[in-house]
Each structure stands twice: as structure tokens, then as C-alpha cells.
Structure 1
Amino acid sequence: MDGRVETKGRLPDFIIGGAPKCGTTSVHFLLGSSPEIGIPDDEVHFFDADDPIAHPDFLHAGRGGLDWYDPDTPEGLDWYRGRFAALADRPLVGEDSTLYLHSPVAPERIARVLPDAKLIFMLRDPVRRACSQYWHMVTRGRAVCGLETALSRHPNLILCSTYLAPLRRYLDLFGPERVRVCLFEDFLADRQGVMDGLCAFLGAAPLRVGHEDGWHNRTFYPSNPRLQLLLNRISRRIAARQYRNHFDADRTPRAALRARMHRRWFRHAHPVLLTATRAPPVAEETASYLRRHLSDRNRGLSDLLGRDLSQVWPGFEG
């Protein structure tokens, strides 16, 4: 994508770009409840579709070599526009793709296709965010090891808690007037205030947020973590195919069968142990490592946001 891309059809006015496990799903559905705003139900993952680190499920070995989705094509842009076709009557349209914040290629691609878009990013205590993502992977059947092993086996746990450099890239490219950063902790404390600010940022009328509207995508945890990890050795093979046909390229009966298998397994068999409402505790030595390492990775973030984050995130020094 060289230079700005000319497109026809409705495209987003804003993007909720991350980070994962920071309340983006709740913000997505609250904004989407406005009669002025339309957002596709599922995450779109267009501008980083060819990123093997963020989306390994989107790439697989084919008979002729690597089978991957190229967003830098007319067909790719047509697919992207099609995601918003049913929302064309809304004054504002947006999308939610929580890995855009950490994609090295997404900012420039977004700027070329959506030069006037606004960006929303949700941040959270980086230690708690990393642990929450780990348990999300466990509950989705994608992790088969403990947290300590997962930190080296799944680098996104650390990368997605590294906010400073990615935010600077977006701020430099889009300018502070088109980038809104919110803290998950503020959202928990004052959902109405955060949503009022986001609506004003987007140019939409304020939303009335009820007490029951504040939480989406709630996680249930394994009652027996060791047994769950053993079960995940089966689940991960099924989970790895969940997004293989994200771009609707494969319309064969085999693809339909994979989709049915995934739905049935994760609706009936996989959740049998997911009954606990709280995550198991993190070992203090592990938490200490994460606080130190993620503070160093984000050193300067308080200055960038103009707020002492150590007052919000216990143990943070950045």
C-alpha cells in the first residue's frame, strides 16, 4: 500500500485497536448499542491479516507453498468494505481489532486506507493484562503449559503488555487529536464517565450506561488447572482451526465441517472444567518478574499519557 488508497463504499470512521483483555469488548458493545454507531459483531483483523506473530491461524502450508491472506489487493479492500455494508445507514461506523496496537504494519496501512479515522486504545495494568491473556488462552484451549512456561512459549503475552512504543507510533502518525487512550481501571470505576468521553471524542450523542451493561466477555476459569491443561492438548488442535477461514476463502464442505466441530467441542466438551469465577493466584516470584520487566518495557508511558500510572497500577514504575 503506497500512498493513500482510493476506496468506494462505506469504511470505518473509527477503530478500537486494542489492547487485548483491557475491556475492548465491553466498549465495543456499549458503543454499538448507540443508534448512531455501527460496529460488526466480530473482530475484523484486516490491517494485520498477514502477520504470522499476531495471527498464525491465518497462515498455513498449502500445496503451492504458503497460503495467506493479502490485504493489499482490490479484493482485500472489497472484503473489508463488505464488513460494513449492513451498517451504511449509521452516522458513524467503527471496527474492533485488538491486535492493531501491537502490529508493526497496521498503523501505516490504516493511515493509507482510513486517513481521517480516529483510534481508541484501552490499556490495563500490564501484569494483570498478561495474566488475563494467559488464562484466556487456557480457557480457549490454546495453552497447554503453566504461566511461567507460557511467557517464553507465547511472546504475545509480553508484547501485548508493551504499550509505550506502539502508542508513540500511532500518536506520531495520527496526532493526539485523533487518538484516545483509556484505562481499563478507569472504566471499572466510572463506566459512564469513560463512555461519555468516548462518545464526545467520536462526535456521538452520550449513552446512558446501566449497571448491568458494564461487562462483556466474562471469563470462567478451570476448577482444576492441571487437568484443564491436559484437556487442552486436544482442544488446541481444534482451536487452531477456528480462524483458518476468517476471510471466507474456503467454502468447501470440509471447511463447514471444521466450523461445526469447533462449535460443538467448545460449546459442550471443552467447558466442562470451566466453572471457577476467579483465576488461580500467580506465584509471587512470577509477579515480581512481570512487574519489573513490564515496567522497564513501558518506561516513559506516564510521561506520554501525562499521568502517574504508578498510582493506578500497583508496582508499576514507568
Structure 2
Amino acid sequence: MDPPTGPDADANLAKIRLVKRWELFLAPDFIIGGAPKCGTTSLHQMLDQHPDIWIARNELYFFDMDDPIAHGDFLEVHGNDLSWRDPEDPTFQDWYRSRFAEAPNGSLIGEDTTTYLMSDVAAHRIKAADQNVKIIFMLRDPVKRAFSQYWHLLRSGRTHLSFERALSQEPSIILGSTYAPALREFRDALGAARVHVVLFEEFKTNQQEVMDGVTDFLGLAPVSVGAIDTWHNKTKYPAKMKTLLRLNRVGRLLVRYRYKRHFGGDVRLWSRIAHKAYQHWFRFVARRILTQDHPPSEMQARTRAYLTRHLSDRNAGLSALLGQDLSQHWPGFSQ
């Protein structure tokens, strides 16, 4: 009997080959996979205080390290020669395993990388590495999340543009708020029972109930939120917007080199100098500029109207997917 042919057969063969390439790799027990600016840092810190959990300290960016949308700074171009980080490279797989080396025996091991949700490659790589891994996503009003990510890019020196200009230059602002297609992909890859979704708005108002849901999902005993330090990574805003925009024209170059050092191994003099300059930037320069608790300006009404409609359409069917009316939490959301 001849083997099946056609697009479906080719896709299945590609998945089999992917699993073969990852079959000796061990993934953590759970992953916080996004979205950025949805409270994931606070959830990370709360889970880290659970006695039965050990979670890697920083975001690892492993399963999507070669994704040019999520991590353009990880790509390097010299002339016309492109180089990138390959998660199937044994060197990087060893690096990833080493992030969990300090985990005590018997602990539930986790990692936190908020870009996995927006990556088109992460879901099937995670499944190929370990189809039993569980993944947690935190979602937020997509318009507010997009605006919050812009301020994050601004305060971290990664853009010098206005919000409206950044929408066309920084694809992660829109993709980070495109939840529905990514959730479907992760559910298809891992199974709906292994994907847990938390709404940022519910997390803010009822942390105990949300944490009980997360620990139950992970198969762990509940913990009292009252005994846990619960809010982390609060955004600070510039007192003088124009000053920060000017400084970021230089600062963004330092940030690029900082991200290139994420996986280690770059010991070039210029890279070391740039890393030191980056540390100085955020310890001394940015601290003197980012002093406000609220943004210096609100989103333009026309921009908000555009994003409300566009991001509703991008997330078509999300309310049905999650089994709740999201317009109750996200004003103007119509899907």
C-alpha cells in the first residue's frame, strides 16, 4: 500500500520529524507562556513562594529563540550573512537544562517566558519536547495590554517612537494582544486540559481565587495569598517624555547588545562594554527619568477606536473559546 500524500501527510511527517529531533529533551513541568504586561511577573513571584515549586529566575526565551518577530535582537547580520540561535543545538539545550540545575528533588519545575504565546513555533516545539507539560497564560484587555507594552518598550530603551508610529514598527505590540489563534494552537498541540488561562482583571481583584485555580491546575495544595508578597514589576513612567525619546535613540543600541548576551558566550570587548553601559543606564539614568506612577499622556481616542475594533477582530471567537463573555472585563471588546 502506498503511503499517503498531500499537504496533510506532509504536515504530519514534519511533526514526526520534529518529535524525533526533540525526543531526548526534557522540558519543565509547567510554563508561564505569556502574554507580556499581563501580570506574569507577579504570578511568577507568587508561585516561586510555593513550597513545592521551583521556577527559573528569569525569562528563558528558549523555545522561540530563533523567532525573528519575538526576538529580532537575537539574530545577527554581518554583511549578507545571517546567524541565529538554534534551540536544537546541544549547546543551547545544555544551557536550558542548566537553568534548572538548582531545583530540589521532588519540586515541580517551571519556567516563565511571555513571548511563547505570540510565537508561531513555540507550541509544537514544547509538545515535541514533552507533551505532558502544562502551560499557563495570562490575558488582559488587548488594547490596554498593547499600550502597556509600548510603555515597557519605551522605558526599557527599545523604542524612540510615538505609540502610533510604534504600532507599525514594533509588531510585538499587536501580536502580543492577538490571543485567540495562539490559544487554539496551544490547545491543539497540548490538549485543552493542559492549558490554563488567567484574566489579569480577575487576578487584580481576586488573587486568592485565581491562585487556587492555578495550584489546582498544577496538582498542588493551595496557599494563602495573604502570606505572599503579591505585586511585582510595577511600571514607572517618564516625567519628561521628550527627554526619554531622545535618550532612547542611543539607549536602544545598548539594549540590543544586552539581549545578544542572554544565552552567554559573547565575551567580545565591545559586548562587555555595551553590557556595562546598559547596567549603568538602568541603574542611574533611567531611574532619574522614570519617576511617575502614571503615563504622561493617554492614548489618542482615534487610536483607541482603531485598536478596539482591530484587536476584537484578531481575537474572533475568544469569548467562546474561554467560555465567558470577555466584554464584561474588556470594554468595547466584541468577540
Say yes or no: does 1:288 pair with 2:305. yes
| Structure 1 position 211, deviation (Å) | 7.8
SS in 1 for 2:111: strand
| 1:264-279 alignment runs, 5 A limit | 264-279=280-295
Within the candidate set 235, 251, 258, 1:242 is matched to 258
Say yes or no: does 1:202 pair with 2:222. no
| 1:119-268 alignment runs, 5 A limit | 119-210=135-226, 213-268=229-284
Query: How many Å separate the matches in 2 of 1:156 and 1:240?
Result: 16
Aligned amino acid, residue 112 of structure 2:
D
With over 3 angstroms needed to count, the CA separation of the structure-2 counterparts of 1:46 and 1:235, relative to structure 1, is same
Aligned amino acid, residue 217 of structure 2:
F
Query: How many Å separate the matches in 1 of 2:299 and 2:139?
Result: 20
Query: How many Å separate the matches in 2 of 1:130 and 1:71?
Result: 28
SS in 2 for 1:294: helix
Q: Deviations over 1:272-312 (max 9, x none)?
A: 22111012211111111111111111121001111000111
Q: Deviations over 1:213-258 (max 9, x none)?
A: 2211111101121221112112111112111011112234443332
Structure 1, unaligned runs of 5 or more: none
Q: Deviations over 1:25-49 (max 9, x none)?
A: 1111110111211111110000000
Query: How many Å separate the matches in 1 of 2:104 and 2:19?
Result: 26
Within the candidate set 56, 66, 70, 1:40 is matched to 56
Structure 1 contact 231–270 (Cα < 8 Å) conserved: no
| Structure 1 position 130, deviation (Å) | 0.1
Aligned amino acid, residue 108 of structure 1:
H
**Partner of residue 81, structure 1:** 97
Query: How many Å separate the matches in 2 of 1:88 and 1:66?
Result: 40
Structure 1 contact 37–93 (Cα < 8 Å) conserved: yes
Query: How many Å separate the matches in 1 of 2:165 and 2:106?
Result: 46
Aligned amino acid, residue 40 of structure 2:
T
With over 3 angstroms needed to count, the CA separation of the structure-2 counterparts of 1:300 and 1:11, relative to structure 1, is closer
Query: How many Å separate the matches in 2 of 1:63 and 1:282?
Result: 39
| Structure 1 position 265, deviation (Å) | 1.4
Query: How many Å separate the matches in 1 of 2:186 and 2:125?
Result: 11
SS in 2 for 1:313: coil
TM-score (norm 1): 0.95
Aligned amino acid, residue 118 of structure 2:
H
Q: Deviations over 1:129-166 (max 9, x none)?
A: 00000001111111111111111111111111011100
Aligned amino acid, residue 7 of structure 1:
L
Aligned amino acid, residue 68 of structure 2:
P
Structure 1 contact 295–316 (Cα < 8 Å) conserved: yes
Say yes or no: does 1:301 pair with 2:318. yes
SS in 2 for 1:187: helix
Aligned amino acid, residue 308 of structure 1:
D
For the pair shown, the structure with the greater C-alpha radius of gyration is 2
Structure 2 contact 238–289 (Cα < 8 Å) conserved: yes
Structure 2 contact 37–148 (Cα < 8 Å) conserved: yes
Query: How many Å separate the matches in 2 of 1:211 and 1:187?
Result: 16
Query: How many Å separate the matches in 1 of 2:129 and 2:171?
Result: 29
Query: How many Å separate the matches in 1 of 2:79 and 2:24?
Result: 33
Q: Deviations over 1:10-37 (max 9, x none)?
A: 6410000000000111111110111211
**Partner of residue 317, structure 1:** 334
* Percent of pairs with identical residues: 49
| Structure 1 position 75, deviation (Å) | 2.3
TM-score (norm 2): 0.90
